[in-house]
Copies of this chain bind each other. A is one copy, B any other.
């Protein structure tokens, strides 16, 4: 490798990873990346103006994802993580064809770990309407093991309940009981939390499923997959570059203050600045 190429490669390794979500939920994925890949810089985009994606059509989610990827590329990212289950289910296959950067979603990592975890080959998946109707989790799980049965259930009230802050509320528990009833009757032994908001309901869901069902949060596995991918491509950040406040940057399409408030309740440190951009221009 020439001196020049080595310099370029080093600069590329120092570049941030782009992470995007329909809103704040993807911060649960960003948090896992921060914990597991502490040397990596992150540019996070939350599409707070157009949230939620979970009830939108495939066409629209693809169009929005393309705009966001164009924006992230202006920030010089070296790889992209779609930290939104709905966008991973509806847009990843399409956008990865067009992209000259490594990109990954949360579904495959989630499906892989669930397929490893299950003993009775019965896996439940909960998510938004669009994620469940796409049947992409089923596809990825059955690609691991065609004998596994997958039971999906859309839970459209969970996101608004989390955003209302009713994380341990009897109303939320009653809603969850109703949503999970059918899956529990099927005898699942693993349950994928197929929406980035749902890990915030983990303890409430645990009360309903009991200890015998493994709750699978794809966020951790996604961070591990990102680690492998960056190593494989020679893109891992060796560290020693920017630090502190520069390491993580946050952009939103609406209401930066509200985002900051929620972010500070999820992330292990205070977000200082969040920039609002007009995503429709990209």
Q: Which residues of A contact B (CB under 8 A)?
A: 49-50, 55-57, 59-60, 63, 156-157, 159-161, 163-164, 170-171, 174-175, 178, 253-255, 258, 278, 280
A171 with B160: CB separation less than 8 A? no
Partner of A160 from B50, B160, B174, B254 at Cβ < 8 Å: B160
| Closest-CB distance, A65 to chain B (whole angstroms) | 13
Q: Are A254 and B56 in contact (CB under 8 A)?
A: yes
Residues of B within 8 A of A156 (CB): 160, 163-164
A175 partner residues in chain B, CB cutoff 8 A: 171
Given A49-B50, A156-B164, does the pair A255, B57 have CB atoms closer than 8 Å?
A: yes
Q: Which residues of B contact A56 (CB under 8 A)?
A: 49, 254-255
* Copies per complex of this chain: 2
Nearest B residue to A174 by beta-carbon distance? Answer: B171
A164 CB contacts on chain B under 8 angstroms = 156-157
Tell me the bound Cα distance from A159 to B57 in angstroms: 19
For the complex formed, measure the closest distance between the CB of A45 and the CB atoms of chain B, giving whole angstroms: 16
Q: List 11 A-B contacts (CB under 8 A).
A: A49-B56, A49-B60, A55-B163, A55-B255, A60-B253, A60-B255, A63-B278, A171-B171, A171-B175, A171-B178, A280-B280
Q: Contact at B254–A60, with CB atoms within 8 Å?
A: yes
Q: How far in angstroms is the closest Cβ of chain B from A244?
A: 29
Give 10 A-B pairs besides A56-B254, A156-B164, A157-B157 with Cβ atoms closer than 8 angstroms. Answer: A49-B50, A55-B255, A56-B255, A57-B255, A60-B254, A160-B160, A170-B174, A171-B174, A171-B175, A171-B178
CA distance A156 to B254 in the complex (A): 18
Q: Give Cα distance in the complex from A174 to B161, angstroms.
A: 13
Contacting residues, chain B, for A178 (C-beta < 8 A):
171
Question: In the assembled complex, how far is the CB of residue A278 from the closest CB belonging to chain B, in whole angstroms?
Answer: 8
**Chain B residues near A159 (CB, 8 Å)?**
160
Instruction: Select from chain B the residue with minimum beta-carbon distance to A175.
Output: B171
**Chain B residue at minimal CB-CB distance from A63:** B278
A160 contacts which chain B residues (CB < 8 A)? 156-157, 159-160
Most chain B beta carbons < 10 A, residue from A178, A278, A280: A280
For the complex, what is the distance from the CA of A253 to the CA of B56, rounded to whole Å?
10
| Residues of B with C-beta under 8 A to A163 | 55, 156
* B157 x A161 contact (CB < 8 A): yes
8 closest Cβ contacts across the A-B interface? Answer: A160-B160, A57-B255, A60-B254, A280-B280, A49-B60, A50-B50, A57-B254, A56-B254
